[in-house]
């Protein structure tokens, strides 16, 4: 099982330039989605047929805080003029959607909130997601942002045979 | 693999709390949609009464009320160690942002502990399909053998956060919503809590199969080809004898794009000859509660032998001849499909079947 992480406080724009470079939508994303895109890039870069649309790969995202870091930005915008571009990131599953769009994954996408980081609980849910017979692999993300500079971000690429 | 049944249900809605009463209200064509003062723009919504409620803990209070009703209906003990708990919500207690811990994890922990559940709670927050996705999750917990029974609660409350957000997206209708209608102009928001107790090999209703699929297209607009919704339908339809399919209860938010997308998905799935209805005209869009609330109403309707009317619909306004149930009609079949779609490109389909006891 492939596992990656992004150190807390890393310069995400610099990582984007080094490791992605050709996906300018990145700049409109909140921190959570940026972390999801970068973690996925580290998991799947170099895969054969990388951007062929596929339904057999799920994207499962987990956190404690959900999207509260971005909710704070939206609340701030409400004082002045509520921002639709911030509002669309106030859902914990948007990061899964961004990963799907970038990588053309048309399989299951799900977002879960747990009381704490618990690898056993995460992988119990991951194994259960494979009850969908179409799902052959999954990008699994734990991305928990306290704010735009502090996070815990790690990812796994899980194949059905590995469980 | 064990069969997953529905052993109990609970509701807290602006149209009543007892499922039988809510069904009666809906069959009589009642709606809780009303015009409310906004922040500052007025908006139509279906809101819960708050008189006498503890304002600070209202989210947990209504969730507990619905959950306890379902627990009592099922006759289970939530403290039994083989019981799991799943909360479905998009924004949880967001109205108290800056005052309380408004994380979904915190609310779920409080609700689960107040119920006496011993196992750690899971929150499914998968945009507007959350309720359906939470039922799929509960089904998987039982099928995998993790739990014998799972309490699934979906709750959404409205607040300036959500209302101004949807207004900023120009998605709200300034009149009661008109699902699938030629003159539809947007959605109405709604508040509710709805709960189900799922149990292995118990209950008159079975959760047969569910699937979640992404459009992989756009984070806030549905696919022009209905891709994810069609793929979700395609995953559940092999588990259903079409002659037994009484209706499809669609998302039907009454936005121009959602309803058109669903019509495309239904057409691609070969379901243009099956009755279709949408319940947003009664309750508004209850977001994290919608999947569970609309499924419970669909179950109760089928038990009464009817396909509920689509309140607000009069003239078909989508590109395919979807059989929208304008008026209540007699139902033929023991199964229905619940269909939902949401931001982030997610879509879900869930097949329900009424049997005898499982």
Q: What is the mean pLDDT of residues B256-284?
A: 98
What sign results for the dihedral spanned by CA atoms A5, A7, A11, A17? Answer: negative
Q: What is the mean pLDDT of residues A58-84?
A: 97
Using CB atoms, pick whichever of A90, A108, A127 lies closest to residue B212: A108
Task: Specify the CATH superfamily of domain A2-162.
Answer: Thiolase/Chalcone synthase (3.40.47.10)
Please, is B283 exposed, middle or buried when counting C-beta atoms within 10 Å of its C-beta (0-12, 13-18, 19+)? buried
Task: Please say if the pLDDT value at position B357 is more than 60.
Answer: no
Angstrom CA distances, B185 to A121, B208, B257, B259, stand at: 43, 35, 10, 11
CA B288-A91-A32 angle, to 5 degrees, is 150
Chain A interface test: which of B100, B216, B234 (most A C-beta within 10 Å): B216
Please identify, in words, the CATH class of the domain defined by B4-200.
Answer: alpha beta
The answer to whether the beta carbons of residues B108 and B85 sit under 8 Å apart is yes
Separation of alpha carbons A124 and B228, rounded Å: 25
pLDDT tens profile B274-286: 999 999 999 999 9
Angstrom CA distances, B119 to B73, B81, B95, B113, B147, stand at: 21, 7, 27, 9, 10
Residue B40, preceding peptide bond in cis (omega within 30° of 0): yes
Using CB atoms, pick whichever of B140, B212, B216 lies closest to residue A128: B140
Task: Please say if the pLDDT value at position B2 is more than 90.
Answer: no
pLDDT tens profile B214-232: 999 999 999 999 999 999 9
Nearest Cα residue in chain A from B229: A106
Are A100 and B124 an interchain contact pair (Cβ–Cβ within 8 Å)? Answer: no
pLDDT tens profile B101-159: 999 999 999 999 999 999 999 999 999 999 999 999 999 999 999 999 999 999 999 99
Task: Please say if the pLDDT value at position B343 is more than 80.
Answer: yes
At B55, the pLDDT band (50, 70, 90 cuts) reads confident
User: What's the mean per-residue pLDDT of chain B?
Assistant: 97
pLDDT, position B356: 61
User: Closest approach of chain B CAs to the CA of A161, in angstroms?
Assistant: 17
Which chain B positions have a beta carbon within 8 Å of A55's beta carbon? Answer: 213, 231
Using CB atoms, pick whichever of B124, B169, B343 lies closest to residue A112: B124
Q: What is the mean pLDDT of residues B266-294?
A: 98
Chain B interface test: which of A51, A66, A127, A145 (most B C-beta within 10 Å): A66
Give every CB contact of residue B159 below 8 A, 6+ residues apart in sequence: B91, B94, B95
Separation of alpha carbons B14 and B283, rounded Å: 8
Which chain B positions have a beta carbon within 8 Å of A64's beta carbon? Answer: 103, 105
Topology of the domain covering B205-354: Peroxisomal Thiolase; Chain A, domain 1 (3.40.47)
Domain range summary for chain B, segments of one domain joined by +: 4-200, 205-354
Using CB atoms, pick whichever of A66, A84, A106 lies closest to residue B125: A66
Nearest Cα residue in chain A from B145: A128
Tokens of B171: 């998605």
Q: How many CB pairs under 8 A join A and B?
A: 159
């Amino acid at each position: 099982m492939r596992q990656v992480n992004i150190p807390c406080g890393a310069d995400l724009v610099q990582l984007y330039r080094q490791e992605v470079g050709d996906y300018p939508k990145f700049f409109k994303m909140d921190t959570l989605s940026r972390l999801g895109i970068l973690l996925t890039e580290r998991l799947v870069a170099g895969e054969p047929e990388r951007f062929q649309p596929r339904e057999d790969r799920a994207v499962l995202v987990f956190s404690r805080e959900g999207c509260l870091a971005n909710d704070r930005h939206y609340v701030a915008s409400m004082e002045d003029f509520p921002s639709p571009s911030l509002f669309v990131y106030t859902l914990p599953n948007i990061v899964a959607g961004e990963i799907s769009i970038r990588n053309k994954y048309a399989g299951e996408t799900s977002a879960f909130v747990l009381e704490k980081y618990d690898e056993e609980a995460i992988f119990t849910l991951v194994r259960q997601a494979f009850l969908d017979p179409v799902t052959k692999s999954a990008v699994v993300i734990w991305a928990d942002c306290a704010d735009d500079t502090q996070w815990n971000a790690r990812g796994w690429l899980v194949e059905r045979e590995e469980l | 693999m064990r069969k997953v049944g529905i052993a109990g249900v609970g509701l807290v809605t602006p149209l009543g709390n007892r499922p039988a009463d809510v069904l009666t209200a809906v069959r009589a064509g009642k709606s809780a949609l009303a015009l409310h003062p906004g922040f500052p723009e007025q908006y139509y919504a279906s809101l819960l009464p708050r008189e006498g409620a503890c304002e600070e803990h209202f989210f947990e209070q209504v969730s507990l009320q619905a959950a306890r009703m379902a627990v009592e209906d099922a006759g289970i003990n939530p403290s039994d160690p083989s019981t799991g708990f799943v909360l479905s919500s998009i924004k949880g207690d967001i109205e108290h942002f800056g005052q309380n811990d408004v994380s979904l994890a915190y609310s779920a922990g409080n609700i689960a502990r107040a119920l006496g559940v011993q196992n750690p709670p899971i929150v499914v927050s998968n945009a507007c399909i959350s309720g359906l996705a939470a039922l799929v999750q509960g089904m998987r917990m039982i099928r995998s053998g993790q739990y014998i029974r799972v309490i699934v609660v979906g709750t959404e409350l409205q607040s300036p956060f959500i209302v101004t957000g949807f207004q900023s997206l120009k998605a709200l209708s300034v009149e009661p919503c008109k699902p699938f209608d030629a003159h539809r102009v947007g959605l109405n928001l709604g508040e509710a809590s709805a709960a189900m107790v799922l149990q292995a090999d118990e209950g008159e209703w079975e959760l047969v199969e569910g699937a979640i699929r992404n459009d992989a297209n756009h984070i806030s607009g549905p696919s022009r080809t209905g891709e994810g919704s069609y793929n979700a339908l395609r995953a559940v339809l092999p588990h259903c004898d079409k002659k037994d399919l009484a209706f499809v209860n669609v998302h039907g938010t009454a936005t121009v794009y959602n309803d058109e997308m669903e019509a495309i998905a239904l057409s691609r799935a070969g379901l243009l000859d099956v009755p279709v209805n949408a319940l947003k005209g009664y309750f508004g869009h209850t977001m994290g509660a919608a999947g569970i609330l609309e499924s419970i109403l669909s179950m109760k309707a089928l038990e009464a032998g009817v396909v509920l009317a689509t309140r607000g619909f009069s003239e078909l306004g989508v590109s395919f001849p979807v059989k929208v149930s304008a008026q209540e009609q007699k139902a033929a079949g023991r199964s229905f499909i619940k269909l939902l779609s949401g931001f982030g490109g997610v879509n879900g389909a869930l097949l329900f079947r009424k049997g005898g006891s499982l």
